Amino acid sequence: MAALPTDSLIGRLLAGPMRPGRLEWIGLRPARRAAVEIRNSATLIAAHGIEGDRYNTERNRPRQVTLVAAEDLAAVAAFLGAREVAPELLRRNLVIRGINLLALKGRRFRVGATLLEGSGECAPCSLMEEALGPGGYNALRGHGGITVRVIEGGDIAVGDTVARVDAAT
């Protein structure tokens, strides 16, 4: 992946410092519409996804793992007038705290020892009306997290550090 240009103000801002975050929650979706399995740890497989998850791909597609920010879960709950939104309702794989995930889009970052690459935004689907109730789809717009590719696999666990990999490393 080519480094973002740093010879402009926006390039310097995009490459600017980010404090590390923390992996707060792990969920696997074994099949379409199956209950999400909450885990304390999981294995990420390079070019495939999470072992045991339905999106574990054989073709190195961009949607191998999905992430959402804990802060976005709180925002969605506020938009819905709810006290909280359980992560499994969104059917994402990982909940991260302390990082604006959109800042990782198109960038490489580590969760524990694994290396991931932000591949796009994770837009809500129509099932969010069913999962979150009326207005769920619109509450999640802009707060659905990101999709990532697994570059270097390995084991991850709740509590692992999440940190962007700078272009120089």
Domain ranges in the chain?
A: 39-164
Query: pTM for this structure?
Result: 0.90
Residue 129 has pLDDT above 90, yes or no: yes
User: Do the Cβ atoms of 132 and 140 come closer than 8 Å?
Assistant: yes
Q: What confidence tier does 16 reach under pLDDT thresholds 50, 70, 90?
A: confident
**CATH of the domain spanning 39-164, picked from 3.40.50.720, 3.30.420.40, 2.40.33.20, 2.40.50.140:** 2.40.33.20
Condensed to tens digits (0 to 9), the pLDDT of residues 60-100 reads 788 899 999 999 999 999 999 999 999 999 999 999 999 99
User: Do the Cβ atoms of 94 and 67 come closer than 8 Å?
Assistant: yes
Token pair, residue 126, equals 């129509």
Q: Could you give the CA distance from residue 121 to residue 106 in angstroms, rounded to a whole number?
A: 10
Q: Could you give the CA distance from residue 131 to residue 11 in angstroms, rounded to a whole number?
A: 38
The β-bridge partners of 43 are 155
Q: What confidence tier does 14 reach under pLDDT thresholds 50, 70, 90?
A: confident
